[in-house]
Amino acid sequence: MANARRIKFAVLGLLVCSLSAIGNISANDASPVYFAADVVPLLTKLGCNSGGCHGKASGQNGFALSLLGFEPELDYESLVNEARGRRISATAPERSLLLLKATGELPHGGGKRIDETSDDYRLLRDWIALGARPPGKNDPIVQRIELQPAHGVLRVKATQQIAVTAYLSDGTSRDITHRAVYQSNAPEIAAVDDRGLVRAVGQQGLVAVMARFGEKIATFQAAIPFSTGEDLAGESQTLAEISTRLDNLESNATISKFDKSLIRQWRQLAVAPSAEVDDATFLRRATLDICGTLPTPEETRQYVADTSHDKRRVLVDRLLERPEYASYFALKWADILQNRGAGYSTSKQRPGTTLFANWIRDSLAFNKPYDQFVAEILTATGSQNENPPTIWYRTVRTSTEYVESVSQAFLGVRVQCANCHHHPAERWSQTDYYGLAAVFSRVGRKGGFADAEVPTNEIIYLKSHGQVRHPRTGRAVPPRPLGGEELPSDSHLDPRLGLVRWMTRPDNPFFAKTMVNRMWAHFLGRGIIHPIDDSRSTNPPSNPELLDMLSQEFITSGYDIKHLIRAITGSLAYRLSSLPSAWNSEDTQSFSRFYPRRLSAEVLLDGISQALDVPTEFSSGPGKFPVGTRAIDLPDENVAAHFLDVFGRPARMSACECERVDAPSLAQALELVNSPEIQRKLTNESSFATTIAKSIQATDESAVRIYAEELFLKILARFPSANEVKTVEQFLASEPNRVEASRSLVWSLLATNEFLFNH
Amino acid sequence: MTKLVETQSISSRWFPKVQSRRQFVSLGAPVLGLSLAKLLELDAHASTGTPSSSKKSIIVFWTDGGLSQQDTYDTKPNAPSEYRGAYRSISTKVAGITLGERLIEQALVMDKLSIVRSVHHENGIHAPSAHWMLTGYFGPTLARNAPQKPSFGSVISRSLGTRRPPMPAYVSIPKAEAFGYQGAVYLGKAYNPFEVGADPNAADFKVPNLSLPQGLTARHIDARRNLLKSFDVFRGDIDRSGVLEGLDTFKSQALEMVSGDQMRDAFDLSRERDSTRDMYGRHRYGQSALLARRLIQAGARCVNINTGNWDHHNDIFKGLEDHLPPLDRAIAALVSDLDVLGMLEETIVYCVGEFGRTPRINGHSGRDHWADCFSVMLTGGGIRGGRTVGASEKWGGAVQERLVTPLDLLATIYHVLGISLDTHYEDASGRPVSIVGNGQVIRELL
């Protein structure tokens, strides 16, 4: 079986054997035990302060710790001073409740966590015996942790021990391999045990293993190369072939630096890219991805016949100037910016959503630089009747919504966790969260329709005062961008300007990358960081170099979105066929082939309307949208259309593109197979199914060929194969009613996966 | 290896060969104590997908948000009032078993119901708890990257298939619960539930697109099906996300569903007598239960009825007044009706949520999340009625006797339905994962 490719990679010389670095770095036995740097991370490792145990807000059995140990002072208080001091016994450390419970000597709901002979036990005992010192101002703190190795290549079933070293502010370092907490971002590729042993469990690809110690995080990134042959001989031959193919690609003069970065990763993973696609497929792909629209038969004929060398580039340039480009990307941004129509009175709501949708569309059509586009939204003031970007503030209204929408949409990070506690797998604390909230604390609102549930027509202005309090300390938190410097508090300065200035600085670590990654995912079906708005040190980019180079390109171009699209669509990855080659069928992360995806709800519905020459009729509450309005042109999501709902149109409840889903369902199939809407479009007098039926006068071979070509070009945007022409011919012979025959033919082509997917 | 492929290639088209693209590398050596031969045998059995000979099926009332055990199936009449709550305990048809007074209809059929009062798991947050109860396993949380497991409905659907095509094996009324944990994950998207998508109690209740549009006949559908077969030759292996494969399955299924009357009739509640509809109660829960019974009659294997929200942190007795009587009526009517129709011996009825509620009423007259000890109700399909299993301690906060885990409940259900407890399915990494883990059948229920 082709799948049973178990081979060794020794020939590549890539393998890192289980070289253990432990022992090279030995802890200084005489060093004192610090509460924050030693004890708390151990409590984390043992699970004491996890969300299911003492870490939950209410604690467990009267003993509460801060979740995952992010508040050492509170933890010290609980351990040493609460419960009449029973938890710690300075005179007889072994009789401390902490140890008696943890060893299971006294009944403990969490069971036995440590052994009396273990290092962990000794550490806790020593800390108590040495006087249970509280966390002190001058205690050394862990400045960083380092993994050894930080990168690796593992074959399936191989293991790799990671060694973790903590570097403290007093200049010392210690081996904390057995005290760190580990987690794999892809457990189906590589698992990690609680002592830092990484094991490639079966699936191949790229994986990151996080090690956390206290609030410090580092990751080990590994590639598990794909197997390539049945046996050693076959394998080395395949590897040679892959290598030759990659060499050939790399030596091609037209190859860009982005392509080279892709090739480097393919080499590491031992995959070879698929072949480049044919013209018709590229045309369909680019037209769908840039304009959300199918190519017409005329466009396909012309493009296929065009013999110029730079026709792909010319095509992309032309597509970017079409109004559909702006419409399609405006739809995407209206999702992200939550231009929501549902929830209150549509008649009051619609003028606003329309205004905002048009503003987004115009911004894209005129290729407004991305930094300016975002700045205009985030710093918007004025009337929602006059300054459309203020309409963003209509659905985004609370501290929580400001923080989460801004961080997810523009910074690509999810900070939701830090609303209630320190983010468990990231550096974000509540201070970060509320600092960002404070940026928006002076956003004021005036006016608005009183009769709507949510005011729809407010004036957004800057108040002279406003603050956000830390939920635990109760102190006001100064405005501060995520990981940035505190913003000056001056009643004349809008802190939102400070945020935007920070965001759009060329060295901002998030802003350009998030947009680049979003656009890459749009065109290639998967982000370099995946999911696209979940950038974390524990979820690193699959190809950091590529992401960096594209971000640099984007910044240097002046945040030129169209330039970015040209760069991405001009990459080798975008030209590859979705058909797997012999050497990449398992790849789902490195873009060695085009990952097909189902057309989104709106594009699919518009595609059917276009293929059948019958527009969809959209009701606009009272009245209808003008005939010919396309789904990608609708101002908001609150336009009734069962088709769009079953195919995953998002409700715009968050800034996450993940709201749009492509999961298949029986309801979708029923919609395609049997909906009155599709039937209406097939049977309409002006339907393509009707007109093409009339166009065929005879059933001789050449007439059938012309008919079949028209059919395939219109629906699948390609010429039919000889076999397909034959099927059409046979079907026409079996169904004497031309109109009926044409409807069935058209229907069955619309129901093919080839139509339903961008491939 | 070759044999496995052959076995899979004869699978009915209703059930895609989800395993066919998996890595079999991991099968090279015995895994988890199972020999390769044994695994292949299990897998072949599991993936043939032809309707199993088992006639049994299950209807689930999912109480989204968590049903308060103390006010329903596990009353504490002698506890202080802040524990006892506002409801009286009432006696039932079975001497010695009491229920909360809002379960009066179930009290009258208590001889047919069983209650497990000692269910326990270790998470108090909605999503992870829903995952635990719906899959049997502790899964992902915000701080834990554990892979999601398939729901028991998907396991049942995959293991037994539908009882009668083209009725989908697995249906959710009106929709699957919002966390997505009623899904199939690595079993394949085709084993996700079919969502009815509408409230069966609505006057205009209709499942979209089940009736042939005007002018279209079964003959047209046949012709189109054949044409589609010739044109739809796009290689399945280009898409590894499962979307394409799932769509293929659903397209065939949809064509089959619309070519006959069976499906339309099954979803048509107006074919029931008014008195029957009244018996179930003219509300979402009642009509959903009636629809579930019709779908089982038409061949479904597992029907979820998603109820709630039961997350009553505030004013719980106000919330329960709205939700409990309809739920009580729906369950009692369904059980009685199944019994009269002779279907109860073949149909499990199971009422379960992600956890119970805190024994002590909080400062907002509500009850919070409580997974330490809570109750579920189940009956039918061979599960005996008129009994309780396990007990909570005095005021209901902890298990006193016979701790039951989520996997014990699933082991019992699978066993009763005729699914081998040895069944393993490969997860995304190709590792065989047991459907029951260390779960044990609750023998006292049989």
Looking at every residue in chain B, the average pLDDT score rounds to 86
Q: From CA A678, how far away is CA A669, in angstroms rounded?
A: 12
* Of A76-90, A629-643, A699-713, the least confident: A76-90
Predicted confidence at residue A66, as pLDDT, reads 85
Would you say residue A245 has pLDDT above 50? yes
Predicted confidence at residue A535, as pLDDT, reads 85
B97 & B166 share domain: yes
Best residue in B251, B362, B369 for a mutation probing chain A (most A CBs within 10 Å): B251
B240 & B137 share domain: no
Residue of B426 and B215 predicted with greater confidence: B426
Predicted confidence at residue A82, as pLDDT, reads 85
Q: Is B232–A188 a contact, with Cβ atoms under 8 angstroms apart? A: no
Q: pLDDT digits over A21-62, tens only?
A: 333 333 444 568 899 889 999 998 888 888 778 887 777 778
Q: From CA A543, how far away is CA A634, in angstroms rounded?
A: 36
Q: pLDDT digits over A83-142, tens only?
A: 788 898 888 999 999 999 999 888 887 788 999 999 899 999 999 998 899 998 889 989
B255 & B302 share domain: no
B407 interfacial to chain A (CB closer than 8 Å): no
Q: Is B429–A417 a contact, with Cβ atoms under 8 angstroms apart? A: no
B178 & B218 share domain: no
Contacts 24+ apart (CB under 8 A), A357-364: A357/A330, A357/A635, A357/A636, A358/A388, A358/A635, A359/A388, A359/A389, A359/A391, A360/A330, A360/A333, A360/A334, A361/A326, A361/A327, A361/A330, A362/A326, A364/A325, A364/A326, A364/A329, A364/A330, A364/A333, A364/A561
pLDDT classification of B441: cutoffs 50, 70, 90:
very high
B217 interfacial to chain A (CB closer than 8 Å): no
Residues 250-289 of B with CB under 8 A from A: 250-251, 253-255, 257-258
On chain B, the residues whose CB falls within 8 A of the CB of A670 are 208-210, 254, 257-258
B250 & B299 share domain: no
Predicted confidence at residue A422, as pLDDT, reads 77
Would you say residue B201 has pLDDT above 80? yes
Residue of A84 and A515 predicted with greater confidence: A515
Among the partner-chain residues A424, A578, A683, the one whose CB lies closest to the CB of B142 is A424
Starting from the edge strand earliest in sequence, which strands make up the sheet with A197-200, in order? A159-161, A197-200, A190-192
Best residue in A674, A721, A738, A759 for a mutation probing chain B (most B CBs within 10 Å): A674
Distances (CA, A) of A415 to A69, A202, A419, A539, B306: 18, 32, 7, 14, 31
Measure A131 CA to nearest chain B CA, in Å. Answer: 33
B221 & B123 share domain: no
Starting from the edge strand earliest in sequence, which strands make up the sheet with B374-379, in order? B194-195, B170-173, B302-307, B57-63, B347-353, B374-379, B114-119, B387-389
Q: Is A579–B235 a contact, with Cβ atoms under 8 angstroms apart? A: yes
Q: From CA B131, how far away is CA B149, in angstroms rounded?
A: 8
- Kindly state whether residue B318 falls inside one of the protein's structural domains: yes
Q: Is B192–A424 a contact, with Cβ atoms under 8 angstroms apart? A: no
Q: Is A753–B431 a contact, with Cβ atoms under 8 angstroms apart? A: no
Q: Is B145–A669 a contact, with Cβ atoms under 8 angstroms apart? A: no
On chain B, the residues whose CB falls within 8 A of the CB of A668 are 247, 250
- Kindly state whether residue B45 falls inside one of the protein's structural domains: no
B366 & B307 share domain: yes
Of all residues in chain B, the one with the smallest CA distance to A580 is: B238
pLDDT > 90: percent of chain B: 67
Would you say residue B358 has pLDDT above 80? yes
Q: From CA B375, how far away is CA B350, in angstroms rounded?
A: 11
B110 & B252 share domain: no
Q: From CA A41, how far away is CA A215, in angstroms rounded?
A: 9
Predicted confidence at residue A23, as pLDDT, reads 34
- Kindly state whether residue B65 falls inside one of the protein's structural domains: yes
pTM for the full predicted model: 0.81
Q: Is B28–A4 a contact, with Cβ atoms under 8 angstroms apart? A: yes
| Residue bearing tokens 């915000």 | B142
Q: Is B145–A183 a contact, with Cβ atoms under 8 angstroms apart? A: yes
On chain B, the residues whose CB falls within 8 A of the CB of A748 are 224, 227-228, 231-232
pLDDT > 70: percent of chain B: 87
Among the partner-chain residues B142, B214, B244, the one whose CB lies closest to the CB of A757 is B244
Q: Is B227–A731 a contact, with Cβ atoms under 8 angstroms apart? A: yes
Among the partner-chain residues B26, B141, B192, the one whose CB lies closest to the CB of A665 is B192
pLDDT classification of A407: cutoffs 50, 70, 90:
very high
Residue of A320 and A213 predicted with greater confidence: A320
Would you say residue A738 has pLDDT above 60? yes
What average pLDDT does range B191-220 have in this prediction?
A: 88
Distances (CA, A) of B245 to A58, A422, A437, B251: 46, 41, 44, 10
Q: Is A679–B215 a contact, with Cβ atoms under 8 angstroms apart? A: yes
Q: pLDDT digits over B80-131, tens only?
A: 999 999 999 999 999 999 999 999 999 999 999 999 999 999 988 899 999 9
B363 & B412 share domain: yes
Q: Is A56–B231 a contact, with Cβ atoms under 8 angstroms apart? A: no
Q: How many CB atoms lie within 10 A of CB B434?
A: 18
Q: Is A666–B215 a contact, with Cβ atoms under 8 angstroms apart? A: no
Predicted confidence at residue A28, as pLDDT, reads 42
- Kindly state whether residue B10 falls inside one of the protein's structural domains: no
Q: Is A674–B24 a contact, with Cβ atoms under 8 angstroms apart? A: no
B260 & B351 share domain: no
Distances (CA, A) of B150 to B66, B181, B182: 20, 7, 7
Predicted confidence at residue B18, as pLDDT, reads 31
pLDDT > 70: percent of chain A: 94
Q: Is A4–B429 a contact, with Cβ atoms under 8 angstroms apart? A: no
Among the partner-chain residues A52, A187, A588, the one whose CB lies closest to the CB of B145 is A187
Residues 18-77 of B with CB under 8 A from A: 21-26, 28
Of all residues in chain A, the one with the smallest CA distance to B143 is: A424
pLDDT classification of B142: cutoffs 50, 70, 90:
low
Measure B105 CA to nearest chain A CA, in Å. Answer: 35
Q: Let me know: does B26 contact B430? Beta carbons within 8 Å.
A: yes
B221 & B180 share domain: no
- Kindly state whether residue B30 falls inside one of the protein's structural domains: no
On chain B, the residues whose CB falls within 8 A of the CB of A751 are 224, 228, 232, 251
B244 interfacial to chain A (CB closer than 8 Å): yes
Of all residues in chain A, the one with the smallest CA distance to B175 is: A667
B195 & B214 share domain: no
On chain A, the residues whose CB falls within 8 A of the CB of B14 are none
* Of A209-218, A501-510, B114-123, B408-417, the least confident: A209-218
What average pLDDT does range B24-52 have in this prediction?
A: 37
pLDDT classification of B53: cutoffs 50, 70, 90:
confident
Q: Is B248–A753 a contact, with Cβ atoms under 8 angstroms apart? A: yes
On chain A, the residues whose CB falls within 8 A of the CB of B125 are 51
Domain count for chain B: 2
Would you say residue A438 has pLDDT above 80? yes
CATH of the domain at B174: 3.40.720
Dihedral sign, Cα of residue A5, residue A11, residue A13, residue A19: positive
Q: Is A202–B237 a contact, with Cβ atoms under 8 angstroms apart? A: no
Predicted confidence at residue A228, as pLDDT, reads 57
Of all residues in chain B, the one with the smallest CA distance to A748 is: B228
Among the partner-chain residues A51, A189, A595, the one whose CB lies closest to the CB of B429 is A189
Burial class of residue B298 in the structure, from the number of CB atoms within 10 Å of its CB (0-12 exposed, 13-18 middle, 19+ buried): middle
Predicted confidence at residue A395, as pLDDT, reads 86
Would you say residue B258 has pLDDT above 80? yes
Q: Is B24–A201 a contact, with Cβ atoms under 8 angstroms apart? A: no
| Residue bearing tokens 């200035």 | A501
pLDDT classification of B7: cutoffs 50, 70, 90:
very low
Give chain B as a 3 state SS string: CHHHHHHHHCCCCCCCCHHHHCCCHHHHCCECCECHHHHHHHHHHHHCCCCCCCCCEEEEEEECCCCCHHHCCCCCCCCCHHHHCCCCEEECCCCCCEEEHHHHHHHHCHHHCEEEEEECCCCCCHHHHHHHHHHCCCCCECCECCCCCCCHHHHHHHHHCCCCCCCCCEEEECCCCCCCCCCCHHHCHHHCCEECCCCCCCCCCCCCCCCCCCCCCHHHHHHHHHHHHHHCCCCHHHCCCCHHHHHHHHHHHHHHHHHCCHHHHHCCHHHCCHHHHHHHCCCHHHHHHHHHHHHHHCCCCEEEEEECCCCCCCCHHHHHHHHHHHHHHHHHHHHHHHHHCCCHHHEEEEEEECCEECCCCCCCCCCCEECCCEEEEEEECCECCCEEECEECCCCCCEEECCECHHHHHHHHHHHHCCCCCCEEECCCCCEEECCCCCCCCHHHC
Residue ranges, comma separated, of all CATH 2.60.40.10 domains in chain A are 10-22+140-224
Best residue in B23, B196, B222 for a mutation probing chain A (most A CBs within 10 Å): B23
- Kindly state whether residue B74 falls inside one of the protein's structural domains: yes
Q: Which of A201, A199, A162, A204 is nearest to A179 (CA)?
A: A162
Measure A313 CA to nearest chain B CA, in Å. Answer: 26
Of all residues in chain A, the one with the smallest CA distance to B4 is: A1
- Kindly state whether residue B192 falls inside one of the protein's structural domains: yes
On chain B, the residues whose CB falls within 8 A of the CB of A671 are 208-209
Which token pair is A625?
């949208």
- Kindly state whether residue B307 falls inside one of the protein's structural domains: yes
What average pLDDT does range B3-14 have in this prediction?
A: 29
Domain containing B161 equals 57-201+280-419
Q: From CA A576, how far away is CA B407, in angstroms rounded?
A: 46
How is domain A10-22+140-224 classified at the architecture level of CATH?
Answer: Sandwich (2.60)
B239 interfacial to chain A (CB closer than 8 Å): yes
Would you say residue B39 has pLDDT above 80? no
Q: Let me know: does A30 contact A49? Beta carbons within 8 Å.
A: no
